[in-house]
Copies of this chain bind each other. A is one copy, B any other.
Amino acid sequence: MKLSSLADYAVVLMGAAARHCGGVRVSAAMLAAETGVPVPTAQKIVSLLTRAGLLRSSRGTGGGIQLARPAAAISLADIVEAIEGPIAMAACVDAGRHDCALEGSCKVQPHWGAVNGAIKSALGQVSLASLSHDHITTGAPA
Contact = CB atoms under 8 A, between A and B. Distances in A.
How many copies of this chain sit in the oligomeric assembly? 2
A138 B113 CA distance: 10
Contact of A12 (B11, B107, B122, B137): B107
Contacts of A123: 115, 119
A23 interface: no
B106 A76 contact: no
How large, as a class, is the contact surface on chain A? 35 or more
Interface string A26-37: 000000000111
A95 interface: no
A139 interface: yes
Which are the 8 A-B pairs with shortest beta-carbon distances? A118-B140, A118-B122, A36-B102, A15-B108, A1-B84, A1-B87, A1-B3, A108-B131
